[in-house]
């Protein structure tokens, strides 16, 4: 098991749960990075005494520097700070739990610095695509999934035969708070309603992505990239109870599933301790108490982001970065009360359909695709969609 961790996004939902795992396993934290929550970051600094912390927001970094003058922790800022935290010499594993595309450069830098990466930041893999998978392969590092579905598939693939004999991957989806609702019923839903996830406690961005099912669309792309599987061989099934976290179907029609209570500390811990397993701070699964599990086809007509992502994956090139960028912008605009819930699906679909696709060769190309998609959304919204 690795002992020294760098945690990017340490004040977010995955970051704080990673620190629970750190506490349970008695690991050491050598670097932390956060966006702007310096109050919680200071508490973490005083508890874990990391060598280095990065605060993305320059002004907040300056404030923190003053507040922790009495410690030995160095405070850096901006993208340079994030990259420094991702590449710090003493880290054996970098947990990337930042939200959004901003995680791309730190992920690439960590791979180039020969660090194993536990990836919770799916947007990086969706937008970065081959750039990320190539960097991981060329540097011989591990890219360990933290996303619960991908951790499940990764676990189901342990012991797979050499030729893999994979027929398909089956991603489970909770369906979010709006499962079963019609387009008409979703026309006027509020941010508060969309933030009410039935099973998982997560950050705001991913909770909205879960309500639109964009999250599952991103996860289809993430699975294709992580496990080198075509989008046609990835199915989605709505499973309301979130007990089966995903499944793998082999050529002999045997289907292997991974189950557990819906608690992110299970997949986080597996990524950190892989391939070993240790006691965990989570609850045990009690099947008799759960009593029944249900499964449904997803509603592709109402939740348009799913098809937009499938289409982007099939198109390849910059299309997945475009889908992701349009969604990051639209998701934020919805949370800010600037657009309606259903606009998100329309904007993501529109961006994938109308922005000219190209092959990104560099990080700058990916950032450009992201920029084009965000601009498309802003332009549409300013003309009243």
Using CB under 5 A, list all residues that contact Mg ion: 147-149
**Residue 344: helix, strand or coil by DSSP?**
helix
Q: Are strands 244-250 and 255-259 parallel, antiparallel or unpaired?
A: antiparallel
Query: Smallest gap, in angstroms, from Cβ of residue 150 to Mg ion?
Result: 7
First to last CA, the chain: 51
The distance of closest approach from Cβ of residue 288 to Mg ion in the complex, given in angstroms and rounded to an integer, is: 26
CB of 301 to Mg ion, least distance (A): 23
Position closest to Mg ion via CB: 147
Cα 90 to the chain's mean position, in Å? 25
- Least spacing, CB of residue 353 vs Mg ion, in Å: 26
Contact (Cβ atoms closer than 8 angstroms) between residue 52 and residue 40: no
Dist CA 321 CA 128 (whole Å) = 7
Closer residue to Mg ion (CB): 201 or 354 = 201
State how far the alpha carbon of 141 is from the alpha carbons of 15, 50, 97, 138, 150, in Å. 21, 23, 18, 8, 18
Instruction: At 133, list the tokens.
Output: 């998978």
CB of 148 to Mg ion, least distance (A): 5
Residue reference for tokens 């890219």: 143
149/299 with CB nearer Mg ion: 149
Residue nearer to Mg ion on the CB measure, 60 or 216: 216
Q: Are the CB atoms for 10 and 97 separated by under 8 Å?
A: yes
Q: Do 11 and 37 contact (CB within 8 A), yes or no? A: yes
Q: How far is the CB of 348 from Mg ion (least distance, A)?
A: 18
Sequence-distant (≥ 6) Cβ neighbours of residue 192 within 8 angstroms: none
Whole-number Å distance between alpha carbons of 309 and 351: 11
CB of 114 to Mg ion, least distance (A): 27
Q: In this structure, are strands 52-55 and 28-34 parallel, antiparallel, or unpaired?
A: parallel
Taking the C-alpha atoms of residue 272 and residue 22, their distance in angstroms, rounded to an integer, is: 9
Closer residue to Mg ion, CB minimum distance, 60 or 245: 245
Cβ closer to Mg ion: 51 or 174? 174
Output 267 or 325, the one with its CB closest to Mg ion.
267
Please say which residue, 116 or 149, places its beta carbon nearer to Mg ion.
149
């Amino acid at each position: 098991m690795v002992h020294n961790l760098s945690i990017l996004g340490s004040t977010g939902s995955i970051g704080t749960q990673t620190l629970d795992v750190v506490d349970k396993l008695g690991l050491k934290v050598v670097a932390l990075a956060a966006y702007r929550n310096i109050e919680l970051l200071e508490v973490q600094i005083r508890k874990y005494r990391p060598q280095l912390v990065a605060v993305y927001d320059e002004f907040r970094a300056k404030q923190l520097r003053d507040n922790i003058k009495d410690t030995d922790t160095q405070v850096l800022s901006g993208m340079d700070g994030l990259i420094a935290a991702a590449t710090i010499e003493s880290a054996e594993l970098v947990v990337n739990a930042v939200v959004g595309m901003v995680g791309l450069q730190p992920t690439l830098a960590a791979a180039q610095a020969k660090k194993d990466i536990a990836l919770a930041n799916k947007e990086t893999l969706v937008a970065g695509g081959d750039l990320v998978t190539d960097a991981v392969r060329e540097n011989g590092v591990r890219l360990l999934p933290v996303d619960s579905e991908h951790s499940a598939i990764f676990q189901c693939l342990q012991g797979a035969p050499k030729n893999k004999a994979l027929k398909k991957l089956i991603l489970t989806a909770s369906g979010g708070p709006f499962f079963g609702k019609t387009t008409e019923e979703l026309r006027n839903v509020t941010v508060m309603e969309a933030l009410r996830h039935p099973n998982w406690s997560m950050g705001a961005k991913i909770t909205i992505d879960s309500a639109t099912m964009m999250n599952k669309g991103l996860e289809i792309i993430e699975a294709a990239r992580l496990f080198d599987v075509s989008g046609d061989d990835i199915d989605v099934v709505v499973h309301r109870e979130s007990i089966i976290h995903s499944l793998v179907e082999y050529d002999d029609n045997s289907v292997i599933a991974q189950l557990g209570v819906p608690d992110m500390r299970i997949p986080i811990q597996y990524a950190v301790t892989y391939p070993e397993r240790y006691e965990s701070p989570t609850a045990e699964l009690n099947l008799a108490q759960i009593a029944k599990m249900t499964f449904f086809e997803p509603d592709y007509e109402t939740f348009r982001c799913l098809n937009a992502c499938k289409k982007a994956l099939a198109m390849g090139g910059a299309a997945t970065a475009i889908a992701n960028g349009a969604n990051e912008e639209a998701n934020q605009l919805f949370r800010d009360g600037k657009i309606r819930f259903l606009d998100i699906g329309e904007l993501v679909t529109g961006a994938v359909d109308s922005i000219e696709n190209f092959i990104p060769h560099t990080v700058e190309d990916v950032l450009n695709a992201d920029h084009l998609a965000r601009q498309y959304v802003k332009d549409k919204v300013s003309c009243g969609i």
